[in-house]
Structure 1
Amino acid sequence: MTDHRQWHEANRLSWNAATVAHNSHKGDQAAFFHKGGSTLYPEDIDLLGDVAGRDLLHLQCNAGQDSLSVARLGAHVTGVDISDEAIDFAQSLSAESGITAQFERADLFDWFDEARRAERTFDIVFSSYGTICWLSDIDRWACGIADVLRPGGRFSFIEFHPFALTFDEKWQPHYSYFNAGPISEAGVTDYVGASGEALARDGFEAGVQDFANPHPSFEFAWGIGDVVSALVRAGLTIDRLVEYPHVNGWRAFETMRDLGEGRFAPPDTMPRLPLMYGIAAHR
C-alpha cells in the first residue's frame, strides 16, 4: 500500500470505533428528524446558499446527520465517507427518518477517481467540520472537488481554524501550524461525549463511558494558505473567505464558554481567536 492508503486505512478503523461511541450519546435520531430537527448551523446555511433542487455532494459526511439536514432543504444529496460504521448508520437513519439521500463508503481519493471515470458531476460540493485533517494530500482533494463540479457549480466549506488546532486541550501551543507529515494520535476521541448537548441536539444520553479507541489515527495540518492555494490551483474561484471567533458543536478546549445553541468560545480571560473558517468558491 502507498502511504496515504496506510494512513487512511488506520483512520477508517479508528472512525469505525469512535462512531459507535458518538451515536450512543444521541438518542433516537430518527425521531429528532421526524420532529423537524436539523443539525446545520447558521454559518453552514449561509455558505451553502440555495440548495433546493440541486445535486449536492457531501464529502466526509460521517454518520449522515448534516447530509439529511441538507436534503431536508430540498437538495438531492450524495454523502461519501471512509467509515463503514458511519455509512451504515447514515443509510439506516435515512430510511428511518424518511429523508432521502444516497450514501457511499469509500476512501475519498478512490471515490474521486471512480467519479471521474463515471463522469459523475454535481451542482454543489459541501464539506463540513473536521474533514481535511484526515486527508494526506490537499491538492488531490481540491482537484477532486473541481473535477466533480459542473461549470458554475459551487463549493461550500466550513472547517475548524488551523490556528486554533495548534493548541492542546489546555490552550497550550503543541502542534505545528505547518504540515510536516502525519501527526500520530491515539485515535479518534469521543468528542461528542465531551461536547454534550452541542452535538446531541435531541437530548444528551450517557451512552458509552470512558471510551478509549483501540485504533490509532493520523492527522495532517493544513493551513489556510494551503487550502486556498490548492483550490485556486485546481481552477476554482474563491468568492468568500470568512473567519469566526467561536466554534460550532465541539467543546475543543478546557474552560470554553458555552454561548448557547451549540457554540463555544474561549474564556473571557483570553483574547478573541479565530476558531473556524469558511470558504465559498465556484468553478
Structure 2
Amino acid sequence: MRKDLHEANRLSWNAATVAHNSHKGDQAAFFRNGGSTLFPEEVELLGEIRGLSLLHLQCNSGQDSLSLARLGADVTGVDISDEAIAFARRLSHESGIPARFEREDLFAWFEQAADGQRSFDRVFASYGTICWLSDLDAWARGIARVLRPDGRFVFMEFHPFAMVFNERWQPFYDYFDKAPVEEDGVGDYVAESGTGLTPGEHETGMVDFRNPHNSYEFYWGVGEVVSALIRAGLTLERMEEFPFANGWRGFEGMRDIGGRRMVPPEGMPRIPLMYGLVARKRP
C-alpha cells in the first residue's frame, strides 16, 4: 500500500476540487429545485434504496451522495480530500438534504469502521475511483467487512480498456502495467467536459487551471476488480459494459448522443467506455 502516494493525491485533489466546483453554478439551488447528478445506469444497478443505509466511497464533493439521499437512503460519504468533504458538508446544509461526510484515506477509514462495527446495506462507488487506490485487495476486503449480510456493492467505473488511449485516441498506456503512473496533477476535467458534468448550470469558473501538485494513478483491469471482490468473499451477481461514458469527454471529438452520454467521433468503432457490476455478501 502506497500511503505516500495517497497523500500526494490528497493534495492534488484539494487543488482540483476548487477548480471543478467553480464551473457548477449554484449547486445548493440546483438541489433545492429537485436536481440530481445521477445517471440512469447507476440508479438501475442500485435498485430501491429508500430506507437503506448507504456508504458512498470516494464521494468527492457530495453531489451524487446528496442525490442518493434524496432517493431515501441514509447516506455516509467518505473521501480523502479535505476540500471535497468541506464542500459536501456545506452543500448538504445549504440544500437541506441530510447526509454524513467523513474525511479520511479510504483504507484507514475501513479499519476505523471495522473497529467500530459499522455496517451498511449498500456500498457504492462510481467513476474514476479505483485508479487512485494502490491496493485493490485491501479495497475489496474493506467493502466486504462493512457490508451487512445480503448487502450489495454497486460499482460503476470507466472501462480500463479505454484508458490505454491518450487524449488523441492513440494507444499510449500499458493495460497490464502495475507501476504507479505519475501525472501533472488532477486536471480540470469538469471544464473539459462542459455541460456533460454540470447538469445544473455550467459556468466558466477558473480558466487554464494548472495543478501545483502531481498525482499518481494505478491501473486495474476488469479481471483484477472481479477477482479481488471474489477473493474478499463477495458473489458477483451482475456485470454490464457500455459503449458510452456518462458525462465525461475524456478524448478528442467525443459526441453527446443524448442524456450526456459521450461516444467516440463518427467513424470509430464502438469500444467499451464504462462498466458496472453488482456483488452481494452472502447471508
When the two structures are superposed, what TM-score results if normalisation uses the length of structure 1? 0.98
Partner of residue 107 from structure 2, selected from 100, 109, 113: 109
- The reply to whether residue 75 of structure 1 matches residue 73 of structure 2 is yes
1:170-203 CA-to-partner distances (Å, cap 9, x unmatched) read 0001111114220100000000000011111112
Match for residue 24 of structure 2?
26
**1:129 Cα deviation from its structure 2 partner:** 0.4
Match for residue 149 of structure 2?
151
Match for residue 217 of structure 1?
215
Match for residue 280 of structure 1?
278
Partner of residue 59 from structure 2, selected from 58, 61, 71: 61
1:19-44 CA-to-partner distances (Å, cap 9, x unmatched) read 00000000100000011000000001
Matches within 5 A, 1:133-282: 133-282=131-280
Corresponding residue SS for 1:50: coil
Q: Distance in 2 between matches of 1:149 and 1:216?
A: 34
Residues 26, 201 of structure 2: 8 Å contact kept: no
> Which residue identity lines up with residue 272 of structure 2 in the other structure?
P
**1:261 Cα deviation from its structure 2 partner:** 2.1
Computed over aligned residues only, the root mean square deviation of the Cα atoms, in angstroms, reads: 0.7
> Which residue identity lines up with residue 114 of structure 2 in the other structure?
R
Match for residue 126 of structure 2?
128
Corresponding residue SS for 2:155: strand
Q: Distance in 2 between matches of 1:180 and 1:127?
A: 22
When the two structures are superposed, what TM-score results if normalisation uses the length of structure 2? 0.98
Identity %: 66
Q: Distance in 2 between matches of 1:261 and 1:18?
A: 26
Corresponding residue SS for 1:280: strand
Count the aligned residue pairs.
Answer: 281
Partner of residue 12 from structure 1, selected from 1, 10, 14: 10
Q: Distance in 2 between matches of 1:25 and 1:37?
A: 16
Q: Distance in 2 between matches of 1:179 and 1:277?
A: 20
Corresponding residue SS for 1:260: coil
| Unpaired segments ≥5 residues, structure 2 | none
**Runs of 4+ with deviation above 4 angstroms:** none
Corresponding residue SS for 2:257: strand
